[in-house]
A and B are shown apart, each in its own frame.
Chain A
Amino acid sequence: MNSIDEFVAFVGDEVGLSVTADDIGRDLDQVDGWDSVLLLTLLSALERETGRPISLAAVLESPTLERIYTVAVGG
């Protein structure tokens, strides 16, 4: 996964939630249809995709999709 745009498409394909580039900086509470269960699904999908473990605690503490992306790609 090389760009935030790819990440946005990835979220749509893996958890079925259509998000836009506008959503990624939003507080997760403000993202339409978001719930914490999606986060768990997204985490396992990200680990599969990137081939490395990602801290669930860090993902759970992320306030935005953008932050999750950064955690996932090792930022």
Chain B
Amino acid sequence: MSHLAIGPVLLPFLAGLVLLLGERWPLAWQRALGLAATAGLWPLALSLLAAVADRGYQVYALGDWPPPFGIVLVADRLSALMVTLTAILALFALLYASRGTDAAGRHFHSLFQLQLFGLNGAFLTGDLFNLFVFFEVLLIASYALLLYGGGAARTRAGLHYVVLNLVGSSLFLIAAGLLYGVTGTLNLADLAVRVAALAPEDTALVRAGGLLLLVVFALKGALLPLHFWLPAAYCSASAPVAALFAVMTKVGVYAIIRVYTLVFGAGAGTLAGLAEAWLWPLALGTLMMGAVGVLGSRNLRRVAAYLVVISVGTLLAGVGLGTAPGLAASLYYLLHTTLLTGGLFLLADVIGRQRGEAGDALDPGVPFPHPLPPGLLFFGAAVAAAGMPPLSGYLGKLLLLQAALAAGQARWLWPVVLGGGLLTLMALGRAGSTLFWRRAPGPVADAAPPDAVALAAAGALILTSPLLAVLAGPVIALAQATAAQLADPASYVAAVLGSRVRP
């Protein structure tokens, strides 16, 4: 049994604990350790990605208790992809945070590592209750990170965020209890087997449990009626935290893909396709709400927050198609949008610091002395976010439109995605011209040039968009292989439960 699958969970956990003990160390040491641990996730995540591609599922039975009795970690292509994405985003967010954000209080680096521990655990676990536990780990770290630095706006947004997520946790437990009460298992692979062989009189309870889970995941992922917490929370968090939160909504998306392709997938009899019927209209609605929100935003960070809402809508529309090409398009778009919105949050902070009093509000401000580097980055980010050629947003949307055409749903998806893109383009164009060109009378602000490392961190995340466009061939092949693996839940079940028979 290879120990590779537990690596991305253990490393941030241990680093977080050491940092907790070292709370009185000089900040430079904490930064070095935090950055080293986050950079250490890269080789782990990439080797996991390679191992999954070469040798298939990596099943890790904790304590060597055989599944379904013990708890397993399962790395498949989707998990490895999400872990890799998190590692990339986290390193640049932490790099940005190390330029001053982390000095606002204690424990920033420890909390950051524990957040990564929760994220990686949620992506790798093969057990429903363990998914709940890792959700709680990442949530409690995110509560503290959201409130990091203090202030009235953060407290107000934090209170809403915490209460909503506590209600979500209660619903998660009810759903897990319902599924356990009927099927007698919490292992996802075993659940898939039991749900497929369900007695007709039990389906109603399992359906209720499955749809309750959808509510929980939709809350984490900010799907239509449950997305109102997101803009306020993401706007009030400090920039690197907001950037890391770009992957938090994707945990909800990941959980939806995992549970509804595996447990309620094609083999689930009368319960097959439980979520898709709900996901499709809600995702399109989310997309529209997000586009309207972008247009109505009055500062750049709120624009970025609504771009996260749009991205969730677009992603889940691809999932809601219920076809492998739709899923592949979503996965490619997921890579693009997570890194890009993360970069945009960082860039908004860079620009806000340059403009002095006006901050990142979309009002004319006094001219600022170093507009060129952030301006060029903003232009690139806007082109990518609006889905204009030649960057990755365009390719992602094109794949999605093609998948919708093949699935016969083009008349719903095309107008919403293209109309949403147009509104995004208008909003970003207006934001850019207001921030960089419209001048209020007054002398040039005497802001220092933007911090080179902070600008590089934001730039690196935004430049992943041209990189994803250049490497589109291999990345799309990876997304298609991932979607193909998800379309075959039987292989997942065989990999997990088959490992019961050990040589």
- The answer on A and B forming one complex is no
Residues of B at the A interface (CB closer than 8 Å) are: none
